[in-house]
Structure 1
Amino acid sequence: MRTRRSVRRPVPALAALLLAAALALTGCSGAGDDAAGSKAADRGLAQDQGAAGAKEAAPGGTGSGSRATAPVKLPAQHIIRTASLTVQVEDVPKALDEARTSTENAGGYIGDETTTRDAEDRERTRVVLRVPAEKYDAVLSGLEGAGKLLDRSAKAEDVTDQVVDVESRITSQRASVARIRALMDRATKLGDVVTLEGELSTRQADLEALLARQKSLRDRTSLATITLTLTETPVEKEAKDDDPGFVDALAGGWNAFVTMLRWLAVVCGAVLPFAAVAALLALLWLRVVRPRLPRRSRPAPAATAVGPLPTARPAPEATQPRAPGERD
């Protein structure tokens, strides 16, 4: 009996060993199956994603592909527009009033204005107009049609890069100022506070300069500048008939007569001082000098061989007839 028991004991031990080996083999095969299954799942997921991407990239598909093909929104352009016009009109004040009215109706305003007259007494006015950029073309066309266009020049300058650069620098400068102020709030030492105050003043000055430049660019891009010069139309003289008539001859004779009188008056005016002096000298001679001169005696009658020449006797006085009864 003891012998049988000793023979039967190794059987359970061998069975336990075989069971453990079977379990180990089963675990290894399960792990291999799990790894293979996970790899297959990964390959399937990749295939599904590729198919979805191809569907989105296809025409009419939706998703990220359609967003990539959407038009990119470009920044607004900032352009400075200037123009110069010279227009010849019949009535300069009237044309100037019309230009002022059209500018104000467009939402602009009048700048500098200068009015002069040339050597031929023709009026000339120069005025600077500021109009909104969207109304620039309409106002410019209206001014060109006000009269005869003599000169025109226009210029457009794109300053979009400058505007974007200034805006970016303003944003950075504001953030820098905010950081300096935050540091000042946390500073405890007097030296740190003084240093931060100096830095804050410098950065604020830079910020104000950038803001001023931004304002200038905004004004120049939002309002176009038009320099208008208005000149008066010269009056054309009527051509005269070459053949002179009676009226022309009469007018010419009268002009010659008036010219002669004018020259005579000039000559008289030039001789008058000398004539006055001569008259004064003659008066002095007759009134003062001549009466004081000794008078000359009459010369004796000349003697001849026969005797002295008879002297002329005075003529006898005519006797008048006596009246009756009158005595000698």
Structure 2
Amino acid sequence: MRTRWRAALAITAAAFVLAGCSAAENGASTADSAGSARVPAAPQQGTGGTGKTEQGKGTQVTPPQAGATDRKLSRSARIDLTATKVVDVVAQARGIALSAGGYTGQESTADESATLSLAVPADKLDPVLDQLAHLGTAMVKRELNTQDVTEQVVDVEARLTTQRASVARIRALLSQATSVSDITSIESELTSRESTLESLEQQRNSLAGSVAMATVAMSIRSVAAPPPVQEESAGGFLGGLAGGWDAFLTFGGGLLTVLGAIAPFLLIAGPLAWVGWRLNRRRRAARPHPEPTEA
């Protein structure tokens, strides 16, 4: 009898334990589901392109990502032109770069062609290219290149910070060194690390320069001047009068040319002919005239 009661009590206790465990699991799952239900949904971009999403009656604005507009860009361009006077175009291009706050680099100018390098502020590159494109007779080619150097700038800045701390530690060790061997070894290490620091600073300055100033490679080629446009002659009386006047001027110019060509000969042959005519006339006057005979 006691054995039966003990078995019944054990079964009842086991049932209570199982019921408690299942209730705890249900409570935990309910709490998880409630917690997840309380998590606000990620904001979605509206169809109007304003970055706002309606949730119930309120609106939420998605902030821009940090550093999305702070990119380090290195820009360069190339432009090829043709011109009748290469030297004049080179001078005009140099003036455009100087007025924009830039300067000229390498330059090679000849009668038939020229090449030069211009450096202008990066934010003024587009208007400078527009001005250069209108120089000369025609623009043959125009190229624009943009390189994102943000990662390089960030990497160099991080390495500079680490290298400066390393140099400071070596200098602290040098101030505490007592023996000659320790001083020599530490100074050698300090020189090496300072050299690396200077190299990193030069890289940073070079990147900063490429971001601040844009380069323009310019090429100019000489071409022959186009023939002048001939105006159509007017018809009618005025056209005939203009044509006759042009013909008269042409004939008169040709006649003057002929007279100018024979004038030296007339200066010599004219006096000689006049002297010969005078002598011939005197001879004829000195000859006796035959008397008429009577029939």
TM-score by length of 2: 0.54
**1:83 shift after superposition:** 1.7
Partners in 2 of 1:233 and 1:251 — Cα distance? Answer: 38
Between the aligned residues of both structures, percent identity stands at 29
Name which of 196, 206, 211 aligns with 2:196.
206
The answer to whether residue 137 in structure 2 is matched with residue 137 in structure 1 is: no
Partners in 1 of 2:183 and 2:142 — Cα distance? Answer: 57
Name which of 160, 168, 174 aligns with 1:178.
168
- SS of 2:39's partner is helix
Name which of 121, 130, 137 aligns with 1:148.
137
On the 8 A contact 1:92/1:232 being kept in 2, the answer is: no
On the 8 A contact 1:126/1:227 being kept in 2, the answer is: yes
Q: Which has the larger radius of gyration?
A: 1
**1:248 shift after superposition:** 7.0
Name which of 89, 102, 107 aligns with 1:108.
102
**1:144 shift after superposition:** 0.4
**1:195 shift after superposition:** 0.6
Q: What letter corresponds to residue 222 of structure 1 in structure 2?
A: A
Partners in 2 of 1:131 and 1:196 — Cα distance? Answer: 45
**1:222 shift after superposition:** 1.8
Partners in 1 of 2:63 and 2:32 — Cα distance? Answer: 20
* Counterpart in the other structure of 2:215: 225
Q: Which digits, 9 at most, give the CA deviation of each residue in 1:138-165, with x for residues without a partner?
A: 1101210234224324252525243333
Structure 2 segments unaligned to the other structure (5+ residues): 1-15, 44-54, 231-246, 264-295
* Counterpart in the other structure of 1:79: 74
- SS of 2:141's partner is strand
On the 8 A contact 2:86/2:114 being kept in 1, the answer is: no
Count residues with an aligned counterpart. Answer: 214
Partners in 2 of 1:220 and 1:52 — Cα distance? Answer: 52
Name which of 173, 180, 185 aligns with 1:190.
180
Give the RMSD, CA atoms, in angstroms. 4.6
Partners in 1 of 2:229 and 2:135 — Cα distance? Answer: 29
The answer to whether residue 46 in structure 2 is matched with residue 51 in structure 1 is: no
- SS of 2:196's partner is helix
Q: 131-140 or 141-150, which moves further after superposition?
A: 141-150
* Counterpart in the other structure of 1:158: 147
The answer to whether residue 117 in structure 2 is matched with residue 128 in structure 1 is: yes
**1:182 shift after superposition:** 2.5
Q: What letter corresponds to residue 219 of structure 1 in structure 2?
A: G
